[in-house]
Structure 1
């Protein structure tokens, strides 16, 4: 990663703590935080701590550790929010709103209205609502 890419990248700035986010996991491998434009409340983005634009750019030795974090977040979203399941997705280049690799972990329930690749967006009822969702996911993650 070039220094310029990291300085300009929103997700690198979140990872560095320069931009506030509702972080649910932060370790040497990845940072996971609530999406500010969630499909459903509790929608988490999991990003590698190092800047890589796409899955193809992620070094092979980082694949397992990164996806272990995605798996843990998926479990925590279900447990912490009482979701029936999760939708895990990743865009590469096309529809990738921030050019930093990220996996979406979206809580799902039957008849929740999500169909195909149409992603309606909801809003949190303020910062306290977002913080409460993040806290529930963090607590569930701690129990895993």
Structure 2
């Protein structure tokens, strides 16, 4: 698996940096955004280094989509949002220089452009991130069990 030592995304997805992981498989790591748009805002990063969506191999792309579906179901179960926003930024807009996808619970009245605000709104307490992580892990497990029963 290709990993670039000076790539923050590689270090995050391979857990050599501290993260609040909620799910992983052989291809992706999913963890809470350190500056969330809303509670439960999660990132999906491939463990192998890719810069943009057009570089992904089929297995990694499939794992990313499957993870986004799982996270969406867990977020809906946990937060009952009005919708889920799933997005990724490529090229110069990819601030990690490593492909990643955002999965964000959204609510009526939230303008999509707010997602791209430059400033971080306050500091997020690490205890709060840990609490959210625990709830997300539990919701993901519930979704996985309910999917097995179908």
**Structure 1 length-normalised TM:** 0.86
Unaligned runs of 5+ in 1: none
- Residue correspondences, number: 141
* 1:131 counterpart residue number: 130
Contact 1:80 1:139 in 2 (8 A): no
Contact 2:34 2:124 in 1 (8 A): no
Kindly indicate whether residue 72 of structure 2 is the aligned counterpart of residue 74 of structure 1: yes
- Secondary structure (helix, strand or coil) at the match of 2:51 reads coil
Choose between structure 1 and 2: higher helix proportion.
2
For residues 136 and 84 of structure 1, the distance between their equivalents in structure 2, rounded to whole angstroms, comes to 19
Q: 1:2, CA displacement in angstroms?
A: 5.9
RMSD: 2.0
* 2:116 counterpart residue number: 119
* 2:148 counterpart residue number: none
Contact 2:14 2:29 in 1 (8 A): no
* 1:7 counterpart residue number: 5
Alignment of 1:49-64 (within 5 A): 49-64=47-62
After superposition, give the CA deviation of every residue in 1:7-44 in whole Å (9 maximum; x if it has no partner): 01112112222110110112212100111121112110
Moved more, 55-64 or 120-129: 120-129
Unaligned runs of 5+ in 2: 144-150
Relative to structure 1, the CA distance from residue 119 to residue 47 in structure 2 (aligned partners, 3 Å threshold; closer, same or farther) is: same
